[in-house]
Structure 1
Amino acid sequence: MNPKFVSYVMQTAAFIDEKAKHVSRGKVNRLLISGLEKVNIPVPFSDDPEKSLAEQARIVAILDKFDALTNSITEGLPREIELRQKQYAYYRDLLLSFPKPVVVEA
Structure 2
Amino acid sequence: MLNAFEIPIPSIEVQNKIVGILDRFDALCNDLCIGLPAEINARQKQYEYYRDQLLAFKKND
What is the CA-CA distance between 1:60 and the residue it aligns to?
2.4
Partner of 1:69: 28
Structure exhibiting the larger radius of gyration computed from Cα positions: 1
Q: TM-score, normalised by structure 1?
A: 0.43
Q: Which runs of no fewer than 5 residues in structure 2 stay unpaired?
A: 1-6
The answer to which structure, 1 or 2, has the higher relative contact order (CA under 8 A, 6+ apart) is: 1
Question: Of 35, 54, 59, which aligns to 1:95?
Answer: 54
Q: TM-score, normalised by structure 2?
A: 0.67
Partner of 1:5: none
- Report the AA paired with residue 92 of structure 1: R
Identity of paired residues, percent? 54
Q: Which runs of no fewer than 5 residues in structure 1 stay unpaired?
A: 1-42
